[in-house]
Structure 1
Amino acid sequence: MTDLSSLPLRDSLRGQSPYGAPQLDVPYMLNTNENTHPVPQAVAEAITARVAKVAGGLNRYPDREFTELREHLAAYLGHGITPEQVWAANGSNEVLQQILQAFGGPGRTLLSFLPSYSMYPLLANGTDTAFVDGGRAADHTLSAEHAAALVREHRPNVVFLASPNNPTGTALGLDVIEAIYAAQAQNEAEGGHGAMVVVDEAYAEFALAGTDSALTLLRGRERLIVTRTMSKAFALAGARLGYLAADAAVADALRLVRLPYHLSAVTQATAIAALERVDELLETVEDIKGQRDRIVAELTGMGLVPAVSDSNFVFFGRLADAHAVWEALLERGVLVRDVGIPHHLRVTAGTEEETTAFLDALREIVEQDPAVVSAVDAD
């Protein structure tokens, strides 16, 4: 057998590592921001029944335009969004990839602001789109002034914004999105090119009260795209269904790059059944938010510093050696995420049992060695 280095890879892929989080067999898996509550039995039965209805026709290609699914997604999103403004694919990662296939590519630039979702530079590399990191403040926040200045400086073709941000969990203010959109419009008005501004709202359903969605900004902004997923709040990570809302012309652009019949009949049936039982399916969201807020409160009590979280996870700092704590938690059967940011870890808010297991394990680690918690904030 040959190895990877002997294959005629594109130069831009040499030396790269694939995306991946540890998949370990432990009692408490709190590292990938899944909804750890199982799909309610009634919803699982509804999905099974709808999939059974399409099973006999799997010899035929599915609806290429996933018409019924788009109708359900538009109704769920509200804000006056029509089915023509909705697009879907196999997870929001594929939606983001299609956006770069349509609007990025060789000679074009993607701007984002790290630390953020680690797939952004990987998607850029996979589509031969140059990636520019605009950076963030020391506390990992992003101001409207800084973001707009980077758009004016680099004149990107695409901007990716995660709100809530991953791994930090905090939502962007709408002023940041508005400033970025205005800056790209100014670039175009000055004779350059504008940018597609993409707001990745994968965790939107978990937002704190009073946090506004970028969906409220869509009207009149034909270059704004808001992406969502059914992997998180809907507890359907295994179904692989992501979607977006934007000007209808954006969906037309993505039709140029999508693979034929890219959404299977089974995927469409699963998503439709879930959307038909959406209230029941989202009943776990409030419980998860409660566990998230519990984590924030108890970590603060331990002397740690959790970030404000509009998501189903908590990013926390002031760890003297984050990876050592990650290993100590793993030894106790709790898997959290070491995102590679010094002195910080990220934990998914799970069920009450899972959350208790994490907090008890971390409290034991801290009590055994108080030096685990740094005396000062460390960056």
Structure 2
Amino acid sequence: MTSLSDLPLRDNLVGQQPYGAPQDAVRVSLNVNENTHPIPEHVAIDIVQSLARAVTGVNRYPDREFSELRDALAGYLGHDLGADQVWAANGSNEVLQQVLQAFAGPGRSLLSFTPTYSMYPLLAAGTDTAWIGVERPDDYALTPEGVVAALREHRPDVAILCGPNNPTGTTLDREVILAAYDAFEGMLVIDEAYQEFDTERESAVALLPGRHRLIVSRTMSKAFAFAGVRLGYLAADPAVIDALRLVRLPYHLSALTQAAATAAIRHADAMLATVADISAQRDRLAGALTELGYTVHPSGANFLLVGGFADPEATFAELRAQGILIRNLSIPGHLRITAGTEAETGAVIDAIAALGPGGARG
């Protein structure tokens, strides 16, 4: 049987592993930070009706500029954005890939602060971009001084700051963003995939005026409970949008994706109604695990990074055997747990409590 080693793979892809979180059919799936609450019925009906209308025209190519969707996204983001300042693609991963295709690539570099989203180095490899991972402080919180020092030392072509950060949940202060922007001459991407859960900090979208190298990436996968639709987007200077047009594939957003996402944004309030409940379940989970003796890192997202597991792989496997999926990201002593519904959160609390101290059966 042919294997990868038999193929003339690019040198920088040799030895790489594809992204692959488990997708088991389990009773409690809390491993990929999805919003586990169902879409409200009246919203689902409107989305289905919009899809039905779109289907009647799929013999033609979709709107290449997805103008209606960009108008809707600009309205949702606010801050007087125009449609010419918004871009979208099939998930924020494709948005970030297009950013790297336009501004990184061979001979250029991408920098971020680790641990962070595991796709960043994979996106770098896929675009033949050098990856620079700079270790975060022990508490995972970035400081203006630390970020500026790293950017001045490495001078990357693109830097990504994830806030709230995945997998740590650490929030990102405005002072860090402003210091980072002024510290180097490359493109600065603020990855706000979980921004709707961070009610204490204004979106970096507010910082866009006068900063043509700033990009703010967002997604409908998390707070909007729209992971299966695959709709990511960004806000930036209109010139950045023009740059992304140079690298996007023609008609990259299907008519069905455009219709579903536009309909969902019409019901933004209903779609986001679960955010407060998810945040409450996150705090409930944090309190329960703290009482059990675990170290719970502060989080502004819909998940927690939890330390204190004697054998994270064994705990992960034991919970998986019970039909509960959480995430083992190979951070020593740690596991990441998404906040789900009240019942799902209760199930994972009970299961971890039953394992005994350190997540090991007595």
TM-score range, shorter chain: over 0.9
After superposition, residues 148-167 of structure 1 pair within 5 angstroms as 148-167=148-167
SS in 1 for 2:50: helix
Aligned mate of 2:254, from 247, 264, 268 = 264
Say whether the 8 Å CA contact 1:86–1:243 is kept in structure 2: yes
- For 2:66, give the aligned amino acid: F
Alpha-carbon offset, residue 371 of structure 1: 5.0
1:206 counterpart = 2:206: no
SS in 1 for 2:202: coil
Say whether the 8 Å CA contact 2:112–2:132 is kept in structure 1: yes
> Which whole-Å deviations, capped at 9, do the CAs of 1:22-73 have from their partners, x for residues lacking one?
1112211100000101111111111110011111110100000000000000
RMSD of Structure 2 on Structure 1 (CA): 1.1
> Which whole-Å deviations, capped at 9, do the CAs of 1:289-345 have from their partners, x for residues lacking one?
110111111111111111111111111112222222212222222110001100010
Question: Hey, what's the Cα distance between the residues in 1 that align with 2:195 and 2:118?
Answer: 18
SS in 2 for 1:124: helix
User: Which residue in the other structure is 1:281 paired with?
Assistant: 271
Question: Hey, what's the Cα distance between the residues in 1 that align with 2:3 and 2:306?
Answer: 39
Alpha-carbon offset, residue 141 of structure 1: 2.0
Question: Hey, what's the Cα distance between the residues in 2 that align with 1:308 and 1:137?
Answer: 14
Question: Hey, what's the Cα distance between the residues in 1 that align with 2:175 and 2:310?
Answer: 35
Which runs of 5 or more structure 1 residues have no equivalent in the other structure?
A: 185-193, 374-379
1:353 counterpart = 2:333: no
Alpha-carbon offset, residue 372 of structure 1: 4.1
SS in 1 for 2:193: coil
Question: Hey, what's the Cα distance between the residues in 1 that align with 2:221 and 2:321?
Answer: 28
* The 10-residue stretch of structure 1 (320-329 or 59-68) with the greater mean CA deviation from structure 2: 320-329
Alpha-carbon offset, residue 139 of structure 1: 2.1
User: Which residue in the other structure is 1:102 paired with?
Assistant: 102
> Which whole-Å deviations, capped at 9, do the CAs of 1:233-253 have from their partners, x for residues lacking one?
111101000000010110000
Which runs of 5 or more structure 2 residues have no equivalent in the other structure?
A: none
TM-score (norm 1): 0.93
Percent same amino acid at aligned positions? 59
- For 2:240, give the aligned amino acid: V
Question: Hey, what's the Cα distance between the residues in 2 that align with 1:170 and 1:176?
Answer: 13
User: Which residue in the other structure is 2:182 paired with?
Assistant: 182
User: Which residue in the other structure is 1:195 paired with?
Assistant: 186
Question: Hey, what's the Cα distance between the residues in 1 that align with 2:110 and 2:250?
Answer: 26
1:331 counterpart = 2:311: no
Aligned mate of 2:285, from 291, 295, 299 = 295
User: Which residue in the other structure is 1:23 paired with?
Assistant: 23
SS in 1 for 2:19: coil
Aligned mate of 1:236, from 208, 218, 226 = 226
Question: Hey, what's the Cα distance between the residues in 1 that align with 2:281 and 2:202?
Answer: 22
- For 1:233, give the aligned amino acid: A
Say whether the 8 Å CA contact 1:88–1:242 is kept in structure 2: yes
- For 2:290, give the aligned amino acid: T
Question: Hey, what's the Cα distance between the residues in 2 that align with 1:349 and 1:288?
Answer: 6
User: Which residue in the other structure is 1:253 paired with?
Assistant: 243
* The 10-residue stretch of structure 1 (33-42 or 325-334) with the greater mean CA deviation from structure 2: 325-334
Say whether the 8 Å CA contact 2:308–2:358 is kept in structure 1: no
What is the total number of aligned residue pairs between the two structures? 360
Alpha-carbon offset, residue 263 of structure 1: 0.4
Say whether the 8 Å CA contact 2:109–2:132 is kept in structure 1: yes
SS in 1 for 2:135: coil
Alpha-carbon offset, residue 174 of structure 1: 1.0
Alpha-carbon offset, residue 281 of structure 1: 1.1
After superposition, residues 84-123 of structure 1 pair within 5 angstroms as 84-123=84-123
Say whether the 8 Å CA contact 2:141–2:171 is kept in structure 1: no
1:311 counterpart = 2:301: yes
Question: Hey, what's the Cα distance between the residues in 1 that align with 2:348 and 2:359?
Answer: 16
1:51 counterpart = 2:42: no
SS in 2 for 1:171: coil
> Which whole-Å deviations, capped at 9, do the CAs of 1:145-193 have from their partners, x for residues lacking one?
1111111111110001110000001111111111110101xxxxxxxxx
After superposition, residues 210-221 of structure 1 pair within 5 angstroms as 210-221=200-211
- For 1:197, give the aligned amino acid: L
SS in 2 for 1:345: strand
Say whether the 8 Å CA contact 2:27–2:323 is kept in structure 1: yes
Alpha-carbon offset, residue 275 of structure 1: 0.5
